[in-house]
Structure 1
Amino acid sequence: MYFEDVEKESQGSKRNRLIEKHYFAGVYKKSEDLWEEVLEYIDVVYDEDYLEHIYIMGDGASWIKSGVDVLGAKCHFVLDKFHLNQAIMRAIGHLGDSVSDARKAIYDGIRSEDKKQSIQSLT
């Protein structure tokens, strides 16, 4: 699935909806075939000179990450929210009573504008 943006379903809602979503589905011999189809769609719909970034979001499976190579230098892989939280909890689960403080500090850093400063404050 492809989408352009996310917005709240309604004012005050915790739920989001995807803007301009487009689904890609099929049976592919190689994952690169799927990503070639995505690349063709991007070429047709967008002027690539004005695209700054393309993000692929998922769980980190190799077939998902392979899209970064096909889609080019503007493409970046990002862990989806569920798997990001799972990875964070695996990394800090041993902290016992400090887990919630550590998780808050990590998420504050992720949301921060100054990523370098946030990383330094965690070390």
Structure 2
Amino acid sequence: SYPSAGSTPFGFAFGLRDELFVSEAAGAPAGLSAASSYQLAANGTLTTVTASAPTTQAAACWLVVTGNGRYAFTANAASDSISSFAIDQDGSLTLVAAQAAHSTAAHTTDMALSRNSQFL
């Protein structure tokens, strides 16, 4: 087992280049949620690439990666929002929009992308 780079790891997804992306709910206080990325080696070991890139939102509980491996989205349950991240070739995460979308429903939860990643 490997300790998470951030607080309260919750959701995860795999990328196209042996990356592991993890959403970090951070116990749900406002502004402390984040996402981390790791590189998975052939022997199963993980190396941290991005340690806790902040969403500036609350309770990043779920995470999806687009089919082309270029973007990741977190569902921030306590903020009723979705954050977007760009994924670099090395697997590093860069926040694109802290609030890429806002939900009118209470507590943004599970997410899935369409087969072509055109719809979230």
Higher share in strand: 2
Larger RCO: Structure 1 or Structure 2 (Cα < 8 Å, ≥ 6 residues apart)?
A: 2
Higher share in helix: 1
If the length of structure 1 is used for normalisation, what is the TM-score? 0.28
Larger Rg: 1
